[in-house]
Structure 1
Amino acid sequence: MDIRFQNLGPEHWKGEVLLAPACQGEALLEQIPELDKVAPWLVIAPAMRDFKGKQGELTLVHGHPDLAVPRVLAVGLGPREKVTTDIIRKGIAAAVQLCRKQGYTSMVLPEPALAKLPGGRERLVEECVCAAQLALYRFTTLKKADDDEAADPQWLAVAFDGQEVPDAAHAAARRGENSAWAVCLARDLATTPPNLLYPEMLAQKAQELAREKGFKCTVLDEKELEREGMGCLMAVGQGSGRPPRLIVLEHAPEGHGQDKPLILVGKGVTFDTGGISLKPAANMHQMKADMTGAATVLATIAALAQEDAPRHVIGLMACAENMPGGRAMRPGDVVRAANGDTVEIQNTDAEGRLALCDALAYAQKNWIPAAVVDIATLTGACAVALGTQVAGLFSDDADLAERIRAAGGACGEEYWPLPLWKPYIESLKSEVADICHMGPREGGAINAALFLQHFIQEGVRWAHLDIAGVDWAAKATPLAPVGPTAFGARTLLDLARGGV
């Protein structure tokens, strides 16, 4: 769907339907007086008597079909004092989905209506554009065309009442559009079946995007991983007939190549059976999305390149397929990590931290980072602790943690800080190696984070995002269908845009 702009005031707005977000208990025409000019027939429309403005309420009002704007879709937000950006996002997304169902090809979103809502004028333009695009997301690549399926609207126009479209609002809309593109890319990758997307194919996809968008992509194959001493990443993939890869991405626009980079590290386990420590069969198909962390990193770098963001950002995707087999790693194996330490493996289903630790060591060996942020569907323990709406955030750097929480909160991805509880380091001690990759079941998410922190050098700013639980939508919402959510893509993009 194209994002367009209209100006010169409501008399010049055009589209099949105008989206009118409104608060409960307030007259629609008083909240959006521009409607009196673009849709003067609203005053006598009987349907308006039934619109209360309750959260989630959608009321479609028809005028004469020959008018420039023949319909208004009133979008209820609830009481003004309780309205949040998230409510506005979901309201706009639900409205766009209704427009698709009705077969409308064009929509108008009046910016003056957003300006009167809490959340900030430009930010709401960005969020509404992003929400409108995400509302239309569908993964149809592998399906036959369905003639009965409603087509997406062709365009959404953000409409202004002035002579010009303000530069800040224009930029905000384009940011929202690019953010939605990044989320959809990450969703596509995480939804693709594992027989079609494995480490080598994910590397090829990254290389294609690099050529298209103009960022750098280097792929380390199994021989290069061995030379780099990445025994942990190699161990994760050695049971599979499809070898692991470390995919190195770099967005370094002119004038910023010498800046200390923000380094993003993503877990890219393209399918996780659990290995020898085999997972239960129920819902194992969802493990195709165990590479969501890597998908969000790739989507972030590609989106930054697409908008030519003035930031130096490195992305590392630690990719492997965790399979049982004659060569698979075993509980009790000891392997050597890229930093030289030996690691005892006690459970092959705790493979994500093994892939990440080598990538973290590689990042610090090759760059002096401004900060390192890793993101992974890492532990079921985090999902048990925090549920399906908020991700875990681990960091000893209060400023970095707050920047991540602010970036995520602004775009609807919430994080809750969890402790790097130092006494638990004792549980990672091994009788046969320098460190054991896991501790007891209790405090599982903390133990995993402490294991990763073992590979962070003194003085390096680092944060770990555990997105297990929020990476998959079990029920459809206006912003996401059932399946991978690409949670974290917008956080990383906003974090990179703002700098650390």
Structure 2
Amino acid sequence: MQQIWPKAISADFSGKEGQSVLYYSSNDFDEDSKEPTTPQRILWMGLGKEAKLSLNSFRTAIPKVVDKVQELKQKEIVISLDAQQFSTLNSSLSAETLLQTMANTFIQSNYQFNKHLTKEDSKKPSIEELRFTLKQTSGPLDLQKINEAVQVATTFGEATNLARNLANERGDVCNPKWMEEKAKELVSNHRDKLQMQVIDSNQMNLLGMNLFYSVGKASTTPPRLVLLKYMGDPQNPTSEVALVGKGITFDTGGLNLKSTGFIEDMYLDMSGSAAVLATMATLPKLNLKMNVVGALCMAENAIGSNALLPNSILKSYKGLTVEIGNTDAEGRLVLADGLSYVQKHYSPKYVIDIATLTGACCVALGEYASGLFTNDQGLEKKLMEAADSTFERTWPLPLFPEYSAELKGQHSDLKSIGKGRYGGACTAAAFLKEFIEEGVKWAHLDIAGPAMTSEKRGHIPRGGTGYGVQLLLSFLQSLQEPSQQPKT
């Protein structure tokens, strides 16, 4: 490094976090043709003070590198680093962890949703290759372990980008039928490990899934429950985990219509189902030895002569009656029947639902973290650890008895919303809790903030972010014995 570090750059570059300097090396000559070769571009990127060096330093740096390389219209990045030097500064920064984090961040930073751009010059050039060169200063590096870690990190990043593509498709294209077809397409690539079943609107009526059906009944595309089963342990008849995703492909608010300024990005209200579908599509690549059910609760909350009426009283699939307080609180209705169905038919040990459920959670946590509600401390610990390891942050919120008390109905078993504007994320979670059976370890992730962001932040794009995919995959990995950890 000292041999290529020009003195002029040394005077200008302090290594401050985010600071960068681009240097063009002098021309070399091709030995055969004796013609000058293209000068090599060398980009130095500051990581900040040594004492504060962490994985987040690299998560911050990689998107800036990608932006610069795209600006230069280059197709390849070679990252050179002395991993052992970093591990000396911070023991958590092993070569395996560093490359895993950088590869994953690169995949996410390189993402673009540009399928509807017709002019090539409107698209940012996509970087086609990332390579690492490691300086070995002392002791051998376990290259096999490093390669496996990078492979898993790449798989996780690609899964996130799949969820982003699903979520960012607009509501005129992405409706419940479109999501069903996408699920079929993904299942067809892994028929040995994935099975699929669809509960259509007619079957919903017959089964008594009235909460779910009522949300989507005014749409020209009927609602449906898309069920995916990953069979990593085919000898086991039960499913250890059920993942349930809210899939409102466009949320008008129903007859309690959303106003201008609040309705435009409601095509992203199916981000929970996008996260579940991307997770299920990725499990065969990780080869986890467990059975997992994924439920996509797909509906369009449209308006029309057949739309759900406020104050209607409906009987849920579980048998509880619910008075509809506001038709814009529709996500909890499709989730309630979806949760009841998977518990009855698959008897999972763990149930996790993931949903862009409430604006109240955005008020509480902003766009930086999801709200985590659960009835089990052990499950909370595992999900928090998975969130920390993937930088898909979440934060525990309470389920006090008072929130459940607000939902007690006068003319029905339950009301769908609480008494007022306060604690809306908590009363929504308390409503879902009413549909969880005794003994089931359950968690609700309210992802309304981090799943649909208002601006680009580093490796996280504006719009659909794919939040939750890596958290769920990491959680599922944590349920495996060490000897069963995936190798891809």
The normalised TM-score by structure 1 is: 0.88
Residue 220 of structure 1: aligned partner: 199
Letter in 2 for 1:413: E
Which range is displaced more, 139-148 or 312-321?
139-148
Residue 119 of structure 2: aligned partner: 145
Which range is displaced more, 89-98 or 261-270?
89-98
Residue 297 of structure 1: aligned partner: 276
Residue 346 of structure 1: aligned partner: 325
Residue 4 of structure 2: aligned partner: 41
Q: Quick one: distance in 1 between partners of 2:337 and 2:151?
A: 36
Residue 381 of structure 2: aligned partner: 402
Structure 2, unaligned runs of 5 or more: 29-36, 481-488
Which range is displaced more, 64-73 or 319-328?
64-73
444, 460, 466: which one aligns with 1:486:
466
2:434 equivalent to 1:462: no
Q: Quick one: distance in 2 between partners of 1:416 and 1:291?
A: 21
Q: Quick one: distance in 2 between partners of 1:226 and 1:350?
A: 21
2:395 equivalent to 1:425: no
Q: Is the 8 A contact 2:238 2:346 kept in 1?
A: no
- Give the secondary structure class of the aligned counterpart of 1:109: strand
Letter in 2 for 1:454: E
Identity of aligned residues (%): 34
Q: Structure 1 residues 259 and 363 mapped into 2: Cα distance closer, same or farther (>3 Å)?
A: closer
The within-5 A match list for 1:24-103 is 35-36=1-2, 40-42=3-5, 44-66=6-28, 70-103=40-73
Residue 95 of structure 1: CA displacement? 0.6
Residue 257 of structure 1: CA displacement? 4.4
The within-5 A match list for 1:224-243 is 224-243=203-222
Q: Quick one: distance in 2 between partners of 1:160 and 1:438?
A: 56
165, 182, 191: which one aligns with 2:159:
182
Q: Is the 8 A contact 1:256 1:312 kept in 2?
A: no
Q: Is the 8 A contact 2:240 2:291 kept in 1?
A: yes
Which range is displaced more, 201-210 or 50-59?
50-59
The within-5 A match list for 1:280-359 is 280-359=259-338
The within-5 A match list for 1:153-164 is 153-161=127-135
1:47-88 CA deviation, whole Å, 9 max, x = no partner? 232111111112222223548993332221211222332231
Q: Structure 1 residues 437 and 170 mapped into 2: Cα distance closer, same or farther (>3 Å)?
A: same
The within-5 A match list for 1:264-279 is 264-279=243-258
Q: Quick one: distance in 2 between partners of 1:477 and 1:69?
A: 32
Q: Quick one: distance in 2 between partners of 1:111 and 1:239?
A: 57
Q: Structure 1 residues 115 and 126 mapped into 2: Cα distance closer, same or farther (>3 Å)?
A: farther
Residue 428 of structure 1: CA displacement? 0.6
2:113 equivalent to 1:136: no
Q: Is the 8 A contact 1:114 1:124 kept in 2?
A: no
- Give the secondary structure class of the aligned counterpart of 1:468: coil
Residue 253 of structure 1: aligned partner: 232
Residue 13 of structure 1: aligned partner: none
Which range is displaced more, 467-476 or 248-257?
248-257
Residue 30 of structure 1: aligned partner: none
Q: Quick one: distance in 2 between partners of 1:260 and 1:69?
A: 57
196, 199, 204: which one aligns with 2:173:
196
- Give the secondary structure class of the aligned counterpart of 1:392: strand
Q: Quick one: distance in 1 between partners of 2:48 and 2:226?
A: 46
Q: Quick one: distance in 2 between partners of 1:149 and 1:355?
A: 37
Q: Is the 8 A contact 2:24 2:39 kept in 1?
A: no
76, 94, 112: which one aligns with 2:82:
112
Q: Quick one: distance in 1 between partners of 2:148 and 2:382?
A: 22
Q: Structure 1 residues 345 and 149 mapped into 2: Cα distance closer, same or farther (>3 Å)?
A: closer
2:426 equivalent to 1:446: yes
Letter in 2 for 1:152: S
Q: Quick one: distance in 2 between partners of 1:255 and 1:213?
A: 14
2:148 equivalent to 1:171: yes
Q: Is the 8 A contact 1:108 1:157 kept in 2?
A: yes
- Give the secondary structure class of the aligned counterpart of 1:463: strand
Which range is displaced more, 273-282 or 147-156?
147-156
The normalised TM-score by structure 2 is: 0.90
Q: Quick one: distance in 1 between partners of 2:395 and 2:350?
A: 19
